[in-house]
Amino acid sequence: MKHAIWYFDFVSPFAYLHAAQIHTLACSIEPRPVLFAGLLDHWGQKGPAEIEGKRTYTYRYLQWLASRRGIPFRMPATHPFNPLPFLRLAIALECDMKAIAQIFEFLYTRAEDPSSPEAWAQLCRQLGVDDGHVLVSQPRVKSGLRQNFEHAIGSGVFGVPTVVVDDRLFWGEDSLEMLRDYLNDPTLFDSAEMQRASTIKASAARRT
């Protein structure tokens, strides 16, 4: 069975939908929380919610997509929100998949404000955490998140959710079918046209 590294950030609703389906993959999963904003800064990108017209469209598309997938979904009361406490909480809980699923469900099924102290306290109670703020402030937790980011950049990860298998990146909730095909047939990228994709050059560039 192949080993897959799963990079995600709780700020991404697409990562929530991805998380609800990732258990169907025929591979072992190693979850690695990573700061999406750091990836955007590194590669010089904007997130979907930072573009006004795209923001509303994306939220509506997510609602439609979740309905099509049969996944319970409600956007949080505020978005984007600061995901750092939730990312560090996942690391503090040893990246346990059940805990990660609980955090995602808490954020994307209740339409609450993730930044409110009340929401944080309620989530910690659900997870059996006595003092969440102390737990996520541990040096090992903070360094673990930094290491995940460095590994992600080193692997060429540019967005979330991303699954890395055999040094190949599968980015986005809509890449699950492609990943399944690859797991079933590791020669997926061996065709001439798949190889040619990495040699195509740009003939124009946007002015900055």
Residue 23 is part of a domain; what is its CATH number? 3.40.30.10
Quick one: which of 49, 56, 55 has its CA closest to 81? 49
**Residue 135 located in a structural domain:** yes
Alpha carbons 77 and 106: distance in angstroms, whole number: 12
- How far is CA 117 from its chain centroid? 23
- The domain total for the chain is 1
User: Please, what is the angle between helix 117-126 and helix 84-92, to 10°?
Assistant: 20
- The dihedrals phi and psi of 51, each to the nearest 5 degrees, come to -115, 115
Q: Which residues of the chain have pLDDT under 50?
A: none
The confidence score (pLDDT) of residue 205 equals: 86
**Residue 204 located in a structural domain:** no
**Residue 145 located in a structural domain:** yes
**Residue 207 located in a structural domain:** no
- The mean predicted confidence, pLDDT, of the chain is 96
**Residue 185 located in a structural domain:** yes
Q: Which domain holds residue 29?
A: 3-199
**Reported pTM:** 0.96
**Residue 206 located in a structural domain:** no
**Residue 184 located in a structural domain:** yes
- Give Cα separations from 52 to 86, 119, 153 (angstroms): 26, 27, 27
**Residue 98 located in a structural domain:** yes
